[in-house]
Structure 1
Amino acid sequence: MLDRILYEAARRHGDRPALIDGAGTRTYAELEAVSAAVGQALLDLGVAPGDRVGLHAFNSWEWVAAYHGILRAGATVVPINALLTADEVDFILRDCNAVALIGSDDSLARVADATTEITSLSFSAFADLKPAAPLQPSLEPDAVASIAYTSGTTGHPKGAVQTHRSVYLNMALTATMHGRTDRDVLVTALPAAHVYGNVAINSTLMAGGTVALLERFEPAAALESISRHRATLFEGVPAMYSRLAADENLAAADLSTLRACTVGGQTIATSVVEEWEARTGAPLLELWGMTEVCGLGTTHPLYAPNVHGSIGVALPGISIRVATFDDDAIEAAPDEPGELQVSGPIVMHSYHGNPTATAEAFTADGWLKTGDVATLDRHRYARVVDRRKDVILSGGYNVYPAELERVVAACPGVELVAVGSASHSDLGEVPKAYVVPRPGADVDEATIISHCRAHLASYKIPAKVAFVENLPTTSTGKLLRRSLGELDV
C-alpha cells in the first residue's frame, strides 16, 4: 500500500521532476530507482519484513529515497529527528529493536556510539548500490509501516505504531483537501522525520507534483526558492511565517505563483495570517495534527471558506469531537471548551511495547484523547484553545517538561528543578527551567545549559534558567507547573 506510492508515481510521471534540493533535481524515475536499490540493499543485509529500520538525517532527496526504500523492503520505518543526541537516538533504536540505521555520513558519525550493535547504511553509499530486484508484493493495509516517536509526559519517548492504511490515507486525504495536482510545486523546510513534513512531501508526490525541499529553514532561502521554482504551495509552522514577514527580502520576492499555504504545529496569530494572505494573495490554511494520527487530523478544504483562528474541519471519513472535562464520553455543547478527540482509520494502532500508555490514550469507546483543549462550533469547525497537559510548543516542536527535568536534575549541584515556558516573539514559547540549587553548590545558568546540550536536542534546551529557593507543589509534593509563573513576579 504505502510501499507502492513512489512506484506508482514513477510509472505515471517518470521523467517529470519529483524532488529538488541543494544537490539538484531528481525525476520520479530516478528517485524510484534509488529507492528500489535501497530496498534491495536492506534485503541483502538480512533485513526481514517487519524489521525496524531507523532513518536519521536532515532533509534531502536521499531521505525521501531511503524512506520509500525501507518500505519497499517490507520493513518498518522509524523516522528519527535529526536534532536528537546520540543518547536519545540510542533509546529509540533500543526501544523498537531496530536492526539497521540509514543516514548521512554526518548524522551517522554523530550517533556512532548508538549504532555499534546494528547495521548502518550511509547516503554516500547509494551511488554504488546495485539495481533492485522485482518489486515486492504490496503489504497488507494493516501491516505496520512506521513507528514514530513522540515524547511522553514521563520524559521517555513513546513510539506511535502507524499502519500502512493510516499513513496512506492521511497523505491521500490531505492531497484531496488541499487540491494537490501534478501541476503543483511545493516548497517546504518542514523536517521530513515529522508527520507534518512527511505528509506534506508525500501527498505532493502522490499527486505527481514537485517538492523543492529545503534542508533547514532560512527566510531568505525560502523566499528565493518560492520565486525560483515558481512554487504553488508553501507549508510551515507559525514561526516561519513570522520570520518571513519580517525578512528584508520579502518586498522583492515574487510570490505570485502561490495558490495556497498551510500552517500547523501550534496556534498562529490571526494578524500574521492576514498579513501573509495580503502579501501573497493566497489563502493560509490552518491545520491541526499529531503523531498519533499520522499527520493531519483537521484542515480547511481549499475551496471552502477559510475561517481564521480555526484549525478547520475533520478530514473526510474522520470524526472529531470535543468531550467534556468531567466525562470523556459526553460531547461538549457547541463552543464549549473540552478535550479534542479523534476517531477513524488515521489513528495510530498503539504505542510500541507500552500497553499502559496505549490504554490511557483512548477512551472506553475507542476515541483518541489528544490532550488539547478545543471548541467545536455548530458548523463543526474546531478551534484549539490551549493544551491540557504541560507540553511546550516551541517553533513547531513538542518540548515536554518532564524530559528536561530528568536531564537537569542529573546536573551536579541541582537539588530540585521544574520546567515551565516563557513567551518568545518568533517561536511562540520556549522552555524555562526553575532550579533549586543544593546548599553550597557552585552551579550557574551556563553550567546547566552546557549539561543539557550534551543530552538534549537543541530545541529542548532551556532558553532561560531561574534560581529559586522553593518550587510550588501540591499537597502530595507533586510539582505545580501552572504556578511557576508566580515565581517570576
Structure 2
Amino acid sequence: MRDHIGQIPAHAAQMFQDREALVFEDRSFTFNDLNTLIEKTAGALHSLGIGEGDVVTLYASNSWEWIVSYFAIARIGAVINPVNTMLTPPEIEFVVKDCGARAIITSADKAAGIIGVKNSTNVASIISFGDAPAGTVSFDNLISRSMPTPPMVDIAPSALSTIGYTSGTTGHPKGAMQSHKAVIFNGAMTSQLHMRSRDDVVVSALPCPHVYANVLMMGMMMFGTKLILHKSFDPALVLQDIAAHKATIFDGVPTMYMFMLNSPAFAEADLSSLKRCYVGGQTMPVATMEAVEKGFKVPLYELWGMTEIAGLGSTHPLYGKNKHGSIGCAIPYCELRIADVDNASKTMPRGEVGELMVFGPIVMMGYFGDEEKTRETLEPDGWLHTGDLGTMDEDGCVFIVDRKKDMILTGGYNVYPAEIERVLAAHPGVALAAVGKQPNEMKGEIAKAYVVLKEGVACTEQDLMDFCRKSLAAYKCPRKVQFVEDVPKTSTGKIMRRELHTLDTDLNR
C-alpha cells in the first residue's frame, strides 16, 4: 500500500495507464487523465498558498471535479474536509470555523450562499466548479494555468489526512480525524473482501463525501475498478447505466433498492451483467433483501461502517457464507466485539446483546479539538465505541439490534435529536422541544418533534418545519411536529426521548 493518499493517483496511472477509470455524465477519464488533472489541481492549490497541514473543505455534489480535488488536496499534503452537500450555510460556517479551513472547494450552486463565510472564518479562497459567481475563484481557470506542481510530500502513514464531520449529540457536529493509513487501509481491505478488481464495473450514486462512496473511489484508484458515477440517484438512469456499461456491481443504501424495484423501468431493465450487489447505510430487513435478490437475480451482501472508522468495519467476504440480517464479520486486521454496555472491558458471551466495538488501524485518531468526546468514544486501549447494540454468533458475524444512543437513521444519514432541538429552541414561540424517532417504510426512521409552546403563543406545525429548514439540512428536519403540554422527564429533569412515543396522537405512525 502507499504511505499516503497523495501518492495513489500517480501509482494508479503507472499501473492502469489508459484504461478507463471514471465515467461521469458525458465524460470519460482514463487513469492517466485523472492523474494529469490531479497534478494540475495540486499546482493550482499550491499557487494559492495552500500547503502541507492546511485544511481544505470540499463542499460539492458528485462530479469528476470532486474526485480530482480530493486527491489534489492530499497530493500537496493538505487535510481533506469532505462535507455533506445538504448542510446549510450556517452549518458550513460552523464546520470551517471549527477545523480552521483555509479554503473551500465548491460548486456554483453552493458558492453564492457561502461567500460571506470568509468574513467570519480563516477561509481565504472559495474555489467554484462551473460558472464561478463573483467573489469566488474559477476551478476551470485555475487548472488551465498549468502551475508547477510541488515535489511529492513526505508524509507518514499515521499523519492526519481527513476530518470528516458527523452530527453531534450536543447539537453541533464532531470532526472525526482519520490518518492516511486508515483511509487507504479501509479501501484496500474492502476491495479485498469483495474481490473488486480491474474486471469490475461499479455504478454508484452514493454521495462522494460519505465514507461508503469513499471506499469505492479508493477501489477505483488502487485496484483499477471502473466507476460509473452519478450526480444524484435516479432509479431509471441507474438501471440504464447498469445495462449500458455492463456493470458487474451496484452499491447502494436500502432506499435505492426499494425505489429501483418500484420503478416502471425495472421490468424492462437489462441487469444480466451484474454479478453481485452491496447494501449499507442502514440495516435492511431480510424480506427486502430476498426481494432484491429475486428481482436483480444476484446475491446481495450487507455491510456496515461509520465515519469514525473511515468506511467499512464489517461485511461478508465474496467467497463466504452470506448471512442475511447480519452485517458480516470484521474486515482483515481489525477486530469486532460485543461489550457490556456498562463495562466496556467486559466482552459479552456469543448471542447476548451488548455494544458493538471496533479495534484496528481503521479507528479514528479522535475528534478534532474535542478531547472530552474523544475520551467518551475511544477507550485508552484503542477500542472504539460505535453506539450500536448487537449480538455476535459463533462465526464472528454481527447482528445489529438497536442503537445505544438516540440517533435517528433516516435514508442512510445520521440525525441527532439534540441538533434539531437546538434549532427549535431558538424559535420565539417554543418553550421546550424534544425530538424522537418513528419508523418509516421508505427512510427507515424519521424525526418527530414534540413541542411545548410558550403561553399565549399560536404556532403551526408548518411554521416550525419552515423555521428548521432555514438552519438545518433537509434530511435533518423533523417530518412531524406534535404540540404537547409536557414531555416525559427523569427525576433530574432530563428528557426521556425513548418515552416520547407515549405522547403520540397521530394514528398513522
Shared fold per TM-score greater than 0.5: yes
- Please say if 1:114 is aligned against 2:117: yes
For the Cα contact (< 8 Å) 1:174–1:315, is it kept in 2?
yes
Amino acid paired to 1:391: M
| Displacement after TM superposition at 1:365 (Å) | 2.9
Aligned length: 489
- Please say if 1:47 is aligned against 2:50: yes
Q: Which residue in 1 is equivalent to 2:297?
A: 281
Amino acid paired to 1:415: A
* CA deviation vs aligned residue, 1:248-296 (integer Å, no higher than 9, x gap): 1111111111111111111101111111112222211101100000100
Amino acid paired to 1:482: R
* CA deviation vs aligned residue, 1:220-259 (integer Å, no higher than 9, x gap): 1211121111111111111111111111111111111111
- Please say if 1:362 is aligned against 2:378: yes
TM (norm. structure 2) is: 0.94
Q: How does 1:207-356 map onto structure 2 within 5 Å?
A: 207-356=223-372
* CA deviation vs aligned residue, 1:81-110 (integer Å, no higher than 9, x gap): 111000000000000000001111112222
Q: Which residue in 2 is equivalent to 1:25?
A: 28
TM (norm. structure 1) is: 0.98
Q: Which residue in 2 is equivalent to 1:480?
A: 496
In the alignment, the residues of structure 2 paired with residue 460 and residue 33 of structure 1 have an alpha-carbon distance, to the nearest angstrom, of 38
In the alignment, the residues of structure 2 paired with residue 364 and residue 105 of structure 1 have an alpha-carbon distance, to the nearest angstrom, of 44
For the Cα contact (< 8 Å) 1:3–1:138, is it kept in 2?
no
| Displacement after TM superposition at 1:440 (Å) | 1.1
Q: Which residue in 2 is equivalent to 1:4?
A: 7
In the alignment, the residues of structure 2 paired with residue 150 and residue 326 of structure 1 have an alpha-carbon distance, to the nearest angstrom, of 24
Q: How does 1:345-424 map onto structure 2 within 5 Å?
A: 345-424=361-440
Amino acid paired to 1:24: R
Which stretch has the larger CA shift, 18-27 or 178-187?
Answer: 18-27
In the alignment, the residues of structure 2 paired with residue 203 and residue 135 of structure 1 have an alpha-carbon distance, to the nearest angstrom, of 25
- Please say if 1:127 is aligned against 2:143: no
| Displacement after TM superposition at 1:134 (Å) | 5.6
- Which of 474, 485, 490 in structure 2 is aligned with 1:469? 485
In the alignment, the residues of structure 1 paired with residue 199 and residue 262 of structure 2 have an alpha-carbon distance, to the nearest angstrom, of 30
In the alignment, the residues of structure 2 paired with residue 200 and residue 384 of structure 1 have an alpha-carbon distance, to the nearest angstrom, of 24
Runs of 4+ in 1 over 4 A off after TM superposition: none
In the alignment, the residues of structure 2 paired with residue 371 and residue 133 of structure 1 have an alpha-carbon distance, to the nearest angstrom, of 43
| Displacement after TM superposition at 1:23 (Å) | 4.1
In the alignment, the residues of structure 2 paired with residue 440 and residue 137 of structure 1 have an alpha-carbon distance, to the nearest angstrom, of 63
For the Cα contact (< 8 Å) 2:43–2:150, is it kept in 1?
no
- Matched residue of 1:154: which SS? coil
- Please say if 1:155 is aligned against 2:171: yes
For the Cα contact (< 8 Å) 1:329–1:365, is it kept in 2?
no
- Which of 84, 88, 104 in structure 1 is aligned with 2:91? 88
In the alignment, the residues of structure 2 paired with residue 220 and residue 465 of structure 1 have an alpha-carbon distance, to the nearest angstrom, of 34
- Matched residue of 2:345: which SS? coil
- Matched residue of 1:111: which SS? helix
- Which of 70, 73, 98 in structure 1 is aligned with 2:73? 70
For the Cα contact (< 8 Å) 2:465–2:477, is it kept in 1?
yes
Which stretch has the larger CA shift, 19-28 or 226-235?
Answer: 19-28
Structure 1 unaligned residues grouped into runs of 5+? none
For the Cα contact (< 8 Å) 2:425–2:432, is it kept in 1?
yes
* CA deviation vs aligned residue, 1:376-433 (integer Å, no higher than 9, x gap): 1111000111000000000000000000000011112111100111222111111111
Structure 2 unaligned residues grouped into runs of 5+? 131-137
Amino acid paired to 1:70: I
In the alignment, the residues of structure 2 paired with residue 389 and residue 488 of structure 1 have an alpha-carbon distance, to the nearest angstrom, of 21
**Percent identity, aligned pairs only?**
45
Q: Cα RMSD over matched residues? A: 1.2
